[in-house]
Amino acid sequence: MTDQDAPAIQVSELRKHFGAVRAVDGVSFTIARGQIFSLLGPNGAGKTTTISMLSGLLTPDGGDAVIAGYSVRRQPQEVKAAIGVVPQDIALYGDLSARENLLFWGRMQGLSGAELRRRVGEVLELVGLAERQNERVDRYSGGMKRRVNLGVALLHHPQILFLDEPTVGIDPQSRRSILDGIKDLNRQGTTILYTTHYMEEAQELSHRIAIMDHGKIIAEGTHDELVRIVGEQTRVTATLADASPDTLRRWQELPGVTQVRSEEDRVNLLVTDPGRVLPALFEAASGTGGRITSLSIEEPDLEMVFLHLTGRALRD
Amino acid sequence: MRIALAIAIKDIRQWTRNLPALMFGLAAPLVLTALIGLAFGGFSGGGAPELQPISVRAVNLDVGAGSPPVNLGEQLIQTLQEPGHASLVEITLAADEATARSAVDRREADAALIVPAGFSVAVMSTGDQRAEVVLYHDPGLVWRLPILTGAVQGVLDAYSGSRVAGLVTAAQMASRGASDEAIASGAESAAVQYAQTATMPLVGMKVESLSRPAAEGTAAILAEVCAGMLITFTFFTAATTAETILKEDETGTLRRLFTTPAARTTVLGGKLLSVFLVTLLQASILVIAAALLFGVRWGDPAGVFLVLLGLVIAASGMSVVLLSFARNTREAGYLIGGALSILGFAGGLFTTGFQNIPKVLDTVALFTPQGWAMRGYKLLLRGESLPALLLPAAICAAAGAVLFLAGSLVFRRRYA
């Protein structure tokens, strides 16, 4: 295997405990060069802890990861030089301008002189803030701050980029801008490790996705591979009025219904044959004094995969 | 070193843009010095500090004695109203003893001077009758009481002399076989003549002051006050700069710094370097501003630099060790305010310029870096040579270095 064929990131049995809590519990995955790989999971799944270990912020309790050919345990400085990290929170100096921030962070990455100034100029163009580069960052909108936050990680042309929930709390326009920017970077050859709890983002961006829950990877593959886990099932979401426990019990017993889960007046079901099951759902509801007030049928997606694997919704 | 310097330069830039920090670190000590200066009666251009005169309600119940009659009670009060005493004692006449005492009780006057009936007769008497006036005072007079008693006693001493003159005259006349009437008359005449010289004592003292003007003495006190402010606010600025380590931890920039190829020790080194440089910059500006605004003559530039360096190292070390005890900026705020106020007082920073400070406080000051810094500045302001300044500067630097090391180790362990 040549260097070019070697994976960008190879994670083996990575572990991290905080007291009795197993934040990351034997996580392994491989990311080929030039891929976008997403870690998808609810809050507290262990995504940020995994990225923190890969970026040298936390020392693993067990396992190792090789990034750009360097071990995070034995060669953390070399790993840090090869990666760019976009943290979940906006980690910038609000009382400095975007340009001053980029100049400072560029120096931290070892850039200097004309090269530093050139890269700062390029990154300002890339994140669309060249015209407002001299304004203090704390006067920017949330989306603009996110863009500078991303820009900081790109200054040194990293081979590999870690993005930890970079779109949390921003407007749709800024989110779109960031997602398009990530795709552009990937097209230019940057390998990307992306964590999110937004299924749509993982689906749109990723070549491969690992679903995490309780510190473990519970499924991994391409979007299509993951969706096939739930087989030929369809998700049906029904809103019930006057529902009783009997309604849900009757639905669970219907042939073709594989899972029933209720949230207040909404019920999520996985069904194998919607054409046959839907009339039976109405019949069972009315037979137990309930009334279906709305119904939606969705093609299988990652949310359904998570529901299928854990019995919980991704946003829980 | 390049990385550490970049962090320090970034912190200095942030400090210069932080208006509250600038107000606190630069404007506040200068304004406080100016206000204290006004309280002391002005700076080098102003006069000597003005003492508030002691307010006295005086009542004279004496009707005088002798021929021609002399009222020594009236003479006593008039003497205290003369220009020599007027700046110290402000006499207001009261109708009677009760009114005079009541003015003191109601805190309308600091003291009441009561000259009893028969005072002149008692002074001129050849018997063993004691002549005395009553001084009723507010206990709050404290150190100003001796000024008042001194002024009154000065006149009474002259009256004592007149009584002695009367007694001597009486004794001499008796030895020559003079009649009792002649003796009494002679003694009274001698006493009256002597008493009339009470306002122009024949024996006194000539008071000579150091040749420098009074204002210069005031300026020396103010220079020490200015040094106290400089030291106080230098310690505070060092602490608030060190606090940015915790602030960066809370805002996530410290974590981000740790994801760069820069080693953690380099990053922390940069933060500690910025504490030192920001403090040095602030203290230097204050020293220059004090010289320009208040005319403080700090002395030999080499000595100024030496003492300043000791102060900055001590303040930096103290701030790092203080902040190492805090888990977040909220705790840091309490720690900085509490610890630096106590140490500042213990170090004598807030009592400089005051007189009669208990000696024990001087001893306590020796256990604080602030106290040694203050000692260095006092020596500097008194024009001491470089070797004399070495000890306080070296102790400040050594204490600062030890504290700096201890605090750095805690921070390194926390962020390792």
pLDDT tens-digit map of B396-415:
999 999 998 998 888 888 87
| Strand B111-115 with B54-60, pairing | parallel
Identify whether residues B288 and B368 lie together within a single domain: yes
Q: Does pLDDT of B239 surpass 50?
A: yes
Q: Does pLDDT of B215 surpass 50?
A: yes
Identify whether residues B177 and B258 lie together within a single domain: no
Q: Which residue of A has its CA nearest to B256?
A: A91
Tell me which of B18, B250, B260 to substitute to probe the interface with A (most A C-beta atoms closer than 10 Å). B260
> For the purposes of burial, counting CB atoms within 10 Å of the CB of A294, is it exposed (0-12), middle (13-18) or buried (19 or more)?
exposed
Q: Does pLDDT of A138 surpass 80?
A: yes
Determine the average pLDDT of the residues in A145-156: 92
For residue B66, give its domain range: 54-198
Identify whether residues B271 and B194 lie together within a single domain: no
Determine the average pLDDT of the residues in B45-50: 51
Q: Which two tokens stand for residue A68?
A: 């750009």
Test B261 with A85 for CB contact under 8 angstroms: no
Q: Which two tokens stand for residue B153?
A: 């006693």
Q: Look at residue A33 in the predicted model and tell me its pLDDT.
A: 93
pLDDT classification of B216: cutoffs 50, 70, 90: low
Question: Cα separation of A158 and A84, whole Å?
Answer: 5
Q: Which two tokens stand for residue B409?
A: 């180790």
- Minimum-distance CB partner of A55 among B251, B259, B262: B259
Identify whether residues B250 and B105 lie together within a single domain: no
- Gap between the terminal Cα atoms of chain A: 42
- Minimum-distance CB partner of B261 among A89, A93, A109: A109
Q: Tell me: cis bond preceding B68? Omega within 30 of 0 counts.
A: yes
**Domain membership flag for residue B302:** yes
Per-position DSSP letters for A276-309, written without gaps between them: HHHHHHHHHHHHTT-EEEEEEEE---HHHHHHHH
Which of the pair, B354 or A12, is modelled with greater confidence?
A: A12
Percent of chain B predicted with pLDDT > 90: 38
Which of the pair, B144 or A27, is modelled with greater confidence?
A: A27
Q: Which residue of A has its CA nearest to B247?
A: A93
Question: Cα separation of B308 and B400, whole Å?
Answer: 13
pLDDT classification of B85: cutoffs 50, 70, 90: confident
- 8 A C-beta contact, residue B396 and residue B376: yes
**In 10 A of CB B142, how many CB atoms?**
9
* Phi/psi-derived region of residue B263, left when phi > 0, alpha when psi is between -120 and 50, beta in every other case: beta
Q: Which two tokens stand for residue B245?
A: 């380590």
Q: What is the CATH number of the domain that holds B65?
A: 3.40.190
Q: Does pLDDT of B43 surpass 60?
A: no
Q: Which residues of B touch A92 (CB under 8 A)?
A: 253
Q: Tell me: the pLDDT tens digits for A217-252? A: 999 999 888 888 877 778 888 898 877 788 888 898
Q: Does pLDDT of B47 surpass 60?
A: no
Q: Tell me: the pLDDT tens digits for B95-135? A: 999 999 999 999 999 999 999 998 888 888 777 778 889 99
Determine the average pLDDT of the residues in B178-201: 74
- Minimum-distance CB partner of A80 among B14, B251, B261: B261
Q: Look at residue B209 in the predicted model and tell me its pLDDT.
A: 59
Q: Which residues of B touch A166 (CB under 8 A)?
A: none
Q: Which residue of B has its CA nearest to A158?
A: B260
**Widest CA span in chain B:** 116
Q: Look at residue B146 in the predicted model and tell me its pLDDT.
A: 87
Percent of chain A predicted with pLDDT > 70: 97
Q: Does pLDDT of B18 surpass 60?
A: yes
Q: Does pLDDT of B173 surpass 90?
A: no
Test B253 with A91 for CB contact under 8 angstroms: yes
Chain A residues interacting with chain B (CB cutoff of 8 angstroms): 55-57, 77, 80-81, 83, 85, 87, 89-93, 95-96, 100, 104-105, 107-110, 112, 152
Element (H, E) at A235: strand A234-241
Q: Does pLDDT of B201 surpass 80?
A: no
Q: Which residues of A touch B255 (CB under 8 A)?
A: 57, 87, 91
Q: How far is A104 from chain B (nearest CA, A)?
A: 7
Q: How far is A200 from chain B (nearest CA, A)?
A: 27
Q: Look at residue A297 in the predicted model and tell me its pLDDT.
A: 86
Q: Which residue of B has its CA nearest to A54?
A: B259
**Domain membership flag for residue B271:** yes
Identify whether residues B171 and B252 lie together within a single domain: no
- 8 A C-beta contact, residue B393 and residue B302: no
Test B251 with A81 for CB contact under 8 angstroms: no
Test A100 with B13 for CB contact under 8 angstroms: yes
Q: Does pLDDT of B44 surpass 50?
A: no
Q: Which residues of A touch B252 (CB under 8 A)?
A: 87, 89-91
Q: Does pLDDT of B194 surpass 60?
A: yes
**Domain membership flag for residue B204:** no
**Domain membership flag for residue B203:** no
Q: How far is B18 from chain A (nearest CA, A)?
A: 8
Q: Which residues of B touch A87 (CB under 8 A)?
A: 252, 255-256, 259
- Minimum-distance CB partner of A95 among B14, B257, B261: B14
Identify whether residues B58 and B40 lie together within a single domain: no
Identify whether residues B353 and B224 lie together within a single domain: yes
Q: Which residues of B touch A53 (CB under 8 A)?
A: none
Chain B residues interacting with chain A (CB cutoff of 8 angstroms): 2-3, 6, 10, 13-14, 17-18, 251-253, 255-263
Identify whether residues B328 and B405 lie together within a single domain: yes
Determine the average pLDDT of the residues in B307-336: 92
Test A56 with B252 for CB contact under 8 angstroms: no
Determine the average pLDDT of the residues in B246-255: 92
A57 secondary structure, DSSP code: S
Determine the average pLDDT of the residues in A126-144: 90
A to B CB pairs, distance under 8 Å: 55
Q: Which residues of B touch A161 (CB under 8 A)?
A: none
Tell me which of A49, A93, A193 to substitute to probe the interface with B (most B C-beta atoms closer than 10 Å). A93
Q: Does pLDDT of B207 surpass 90?
A: no
Q: Look at residue B210 in the predicted model and tell me its pLDDT.
A: 60
Tell me which of A95, A107, A157, A165 to substitute to probe the interface with B (most B C-beta atoms closer than 10 Å). A107
Distances (CA, A) of B210 to B213, B215, B217, B276, B297: 8, 12, 10, 42, 19
User: What is the 3-state secondary structure of chain B?
Assistant: CHHHHHHHHHHHHHHHHCHHHHHHHHHHHHHHHHHHHHHCCCCCCCCCCCCCCEEEEEEECCCCECCCCECHHHHHHHHHHCHHHHCCEEEEECCCHHHHHHHHHCCCCCEEEEECCCHHHHHHCCCCCCCCCEEEECHHHHHHHHHHHHHHHHHHHHHHHHHHHHHHHHHHHHHCCCCHHHHHHHHHHHHHHHHCCCCCCCCCCCCCCCCCCHHHHHHHHHHHHHHHHHHHHHHHHHHHHHHHHHHHHHHCHHHHHHCCCCCHHHHHHHHHHHHHHHHHHHHHHHHHHHHHHHCCCCCCHHHHHHHHHHHHHHHHHHHHHHHHCCCCHHHHHHHHHHHHHHHHHHCCCCCCCCCCCCHHHHHHHCCCHHHHHHHHHHHHHCCCCHHHHHHHHHHHHHHHHHHHHHHHHHHHHHHC
Q: Tell me: the pLDDT tens digits for A46-88? A: 999 999 999 988 999 999 999 999 999 999 999 999 999 999 8
Residue B246: which of B185, B330, B188, B311 has the closest Cα? B330
Q: Which residues of A touch B12 (CB under 8 A)?
A: none
> Which residues touch A43 (CB under 8 Å, ≥6 apart)?
A197
Last residue of a domain, one of B198, B231, B251: B198
Q: How far is B341 from chain A (nearest CA, A)?
A: 29
Identify whether residues B23 and B80 lie together within a single domain: no
Amino acid identity of residue B347, one-letter, is G
Mean pLDDT lowest for which of A60-69, A183-192, B289-298?
B289-298
Residue B381: CA atoms inside 13 Å, Cβ hemisphere, count?
A: 26
Distances (CA, A) of A75 to A87, A245, A304: 21, 57, 40
Test B13 with A107 for CB contact under 8 angstroms: no
Mean pLDDT lowest for which of A186-190, B33-37, B271-275?
B33-37
Question: Cα separation of B313 and B276, whole Å?
Answer: 7
Identify whether residues B62 and B193 lie together within a single domain: yes
Ranked by mean pLDDT, the top range of A48-62, B12-26, B183-197 is A48-62
- 8 A C-beta contact, residue B58 and residue B91: yes
Question: Cα separation of A94 and B320, whole Å?
Answer: 24
pLDDT classification of B45: cutoffs 50, 70, 90: very low
Q: Does pLDDT of B200 surpass 70?
A: no
Q: How far is A172 from chain B (nearest CA, A)?
A: 24
Test B262 with A93 for CB contact under 8 angstroms: no
Residue A184: CA atoms inside 13 Å, Cβ hemisphere, count?
A: 9
- Gap between the terminal Cα atoms of chain B: 19
- 8 A C-beta contact, residue A202 and residue A196: yes
**In 10 A of CB B82, how many CB atoms?**
11
**Domain membership flag for residue B19:** yes
Last residue of a domain, one of B134, B166, B198: B198
Rg (CA), chain A: 23
**Domain membership flag for residue B88:** yes
Q: Which residues of A touch B5 (CB under 8 A)?
A: none
Q: Which residue of B has its CA nearest to A53?
A: B259
Test A93 with B10 for CB contact under 8 angstroms: yes
Q: Which residue of A has its CA nearest to B13?
A: A96
Mean pLDDT lowest for which of A226-230, A258-262, B47-51?
B47-51
Identify whether residues B263 and B372 lie together within a single domain: yes
Mean pLDDT lowest for which of A29-33, A82-86, B193-197?
B193-197
| Strand A191-196 with A70-71, pairing | unpaired
Element (H, E) at A203: helix A199-205
Q: How far is A247 from chain B (nearest CA, A)?
A: 49
| Strand A191-196 with A36-40, pairing | parallel
Beta bridge partners of A67: A9, A70
**Domain membership flag for residue B209:** no
Test A57 with B263 for CB contact under 8 angstroms: no
Mean pLDDT lowest for which of A74-78, A147-151, A294-298, B206-210?
B206-210
Test B258 with A56 for CB contact under 8 angstroms: yes
Identify whether residues B373 and B335 lie together within a single domain: yes
Q: Does pLDDT of B291 surpass 50?
A: yes
Test A80 with B260 for CB contact under 8 angstroms: yes
> Which residues touch A112 (CB under 8 Å, ≥6 apart)?
B2
Q: Which two tokens stand for residue A135?
A: 């304004």
Q: How many domains does chain B have?
A: 2
Last residue of a domain, one of B198, B228, B262: B198
**Domain membership flag for residue B208:** no
Beta bridge partners of B113: B58, B135
> For the purposes of burial, counting CB atoms within 10 Å of the CB of B206, is it exposed (0-12), middle (13-18) or buried (19 or more)?
exposed
- Whole-structure pTM value: 0.72
3-state secondary structure (DSSP) of residue A156: coil
Q: Which residue of A has its CA nearest to B258?
A: A57
Tell me which of B256, B266, B267, B274 to substitute to probe the interface with A (most A C-beta atoms closer than 10 Å). B256
Axis crossing angle, helix B264-294 with helix B386-415, rounded to the nearest 10: 140
Q: Does pLDDT of B32 surpass 50?
A: yes
Q: Which residues of B touch A108 (CB under 8 A)?
A: 3, 6, 257, 260, 262
Q: How far is A21 from chain B (nearest CA, A)?
A: 21
Q: Which two tokens stand for residue B161?
A: 């002399």
Q: Does pLDDT of B235 surpass 90?
A: yes
Test A96 with B10 for CB contact under 8 angstroms: yes
Q: Does pLDDT of A126 surpass 90?
A: no
